[in-house]
Structure 1
Amino acid sequence: MTRDRLALLLAGLAPLAVAAVLLPLRGSLENTHVALIMVAVVVAVAALGNRVAGYLAAGFAGLWFDFFFTQPYQRLTIDVRSDAETLVLLLIVGVAVTELAVWGRRQAAAASRDAGYLAGIQAAATVGAVGGSSHDLIRQVSDQLVTTLELRGCRFQRGVAGLGNPPRLQRDGSVTWHRAAWDADREGLPAEEETELLVESGGRLHGRYLLTATPHRPLSPERRRVAVTLADQVGAALG
């Protein structure tokens, strides 16, 4: 079971399970305390899963709080105004902590990707610095390009550029095809043809990488610029 599927399952079951555990304490436990415990359940689910799981957990937490802990009991109505306010606050806080959890996961994923890009550049630079063969460096950068751009394939050609007028990944990270800009942010690299990434140094062309894209895989400008930097490592070594 994937992490997101597990979170969706817990979103439906965890609030009910916690409500069942707290039910015997209904006469001695303040409803505000029950609501805080329910919020903790929402936080746990949101941290484990995604936005949908967090919202579902908040909704079910509010449902069971209303059903079991507000008068009249075992009915989806609320007679006491303070209980209604507590329910509204429970839902608001549940949504808020879900958004914070989603933001935190995105930040962690971005940091992990950045670390991976840096590791790839450092690995390529190390091969060149220690005097590794150009063949090894070309192959290693090819592997890094596949990972960075989520390609289906990548190959290197020496001494040619523009053959067949293919799409091109430019030095600034933009993509052009038939002299027009290509929206790589939304569409990724063109999948109909291989995209060329030139390998140059000091104004001299050494060859090109031909990138076989995965269809409709959006690529951020940062990832495309990392690919250019990797190609520059090969260009520096060949130069």
Structure 2
Amino acid sequence: MRQNLTSGRTALVSSLLLPPAVCAVLLPARGSLANTDVALGLVVVIVAVASLGHRVPGALTAVSAAVWFDFFFTRPYATFDISKSADLTTAVLLLLVGLAVSQLATHARRMRVIAITDAGYLAQIHDTAVLSRSANSPLAVADHVREQLIEVLQLRGCRFEYGTLMGHPPRLEHDGSVLIGENVWDVDRLGMPAQEVELRLVSSDRYYGRFMLDPIPGARPSRQARLVAATLADQAGAALDPMWRVDKAA
């Protein structure tokens, strides 16, 4: 999250500073450089800022590029007036193309982040499946999943309770929703509840235990992350099934 904030600040500062800086660098060649070439150079700047993955700085860069292109490279110079229709067309196209390119670059980066995230989630599930086949103790699998849940759901802590079911805390369901009583809690808008949330291990109507999740205040794990957490809990439940059968037989 800190990295995202740093990236956002960098993009915002770049959106304000890069267009006038590039225009200033190109200014000495104003007499020999076609305005369309200047506009293309500014589009490159817009793409560079938008590639950081933030839509607003990308759009600001497009606006800033059009404004400073007008100020430095259209007659009358050093004003925000445009006397030639060709320059007006170029400035408008720079703005529109810049906004479109910014949107596309932002979307492309977001898709790349999602792909990387998906790969990370799949690795978590795969690691747990491998451990389930090789671990001598089912509780070792539960402890491994407990650690994974802390990372996946942005938790301060997590503990596992085997075979207990006391109280009525908020509950993370296996469809990714969070219930408080019978009401659905809007995690995407409100974040996780400010109290422990249970994630039950249930398989074939058998209850094995639950993970008690302690969310970081304000954390908003995505629905995808919540579904991965439920899948990890299912794997832990499957690993605990033999131990449950032994306990029942005893």
User: TM-score over 0.5 for the alignment?
Assistant: yes
Corresponding residue number in structure 1 for 2:72: 68
Alignment length (residue pairs): 237
Measure, in 1, the Cα distance between the counterparts of 2:8 and 2:190: 25
Q: Who is 2:110 aligned against?
A: 106
Which consecutive residues of structure 2, in runs of 5 or more, have no partner in the other structure? 242-250
Give the share of equivalent positions with the same residue, in percent. Answer: 50
CA deviation profile, 1:68-101 (whole Å, cap 9, x unmatched): 1111112211110110111011011111111112
Shift of 1:16: 2.1
Contact 1:6 1:49 in 2 (8 A): no
Distance of aligned partners of 1:7 and 1:237 in 2 relative to their CA distance in 1, 3 Å threshold: same
SS at match of 1:48: coil
Q: CA RMSD in A?
A: 1.8
* Matching of residues 73-222 of structure 1 within 5 Å: 73-161=77-165, 163-191=166-194, 193-222=195-224
TM-superposed deviation, 1:127: 0.7
Q: Deviations over 1:11-59 (max 9, x none)?
A: 2222222212222222222111111111111111211352232122222
Q: Distance in 2 between matches of 1:167 and 1:124?
A: 25
Instruction: Give 5+ residue unaligned stretches, structure 1.
Output: none
- Give the 3 Å change call, closer, same or farther, for CA 236–43 of structure 1 in structure 2: same
1:152 aligns to what SS in structure 2? Answer: strand
CA contact (8 A) 2:42 2:65 kept: yes
Residues 147-205 of structure 1, C-alpha deviations (whole Å, 9 max, x = no match)? 111112110001112x11111222222222222222233223321x3111111334322
How far apart, CA to CA, are the structure 2 residues paired with 1:85 and 1:132?
72
Which range moved further: 94-103 or 193-202?
193-202
Counterpart amino acid of 2:151?
T
Question: 1-side partners of 2:55 and 2:96: how far apart?
Answer: 14
1:224 alignment partner in structure 2: 226
Instruction: Give the secondary-structure state (helix, strand or coil) at the position aligned to 1:181.
Output: strand
Offset of residue 132 of structure 1: 4.0
Distance verdict in 2 for CA 1:198–1:101, change over 3 Å: same
Once the two structures are TM-superposed, the CA of residue 134 in structure 1 deviates from its matched residue by: 2.2
Aligned to 1:17: 21
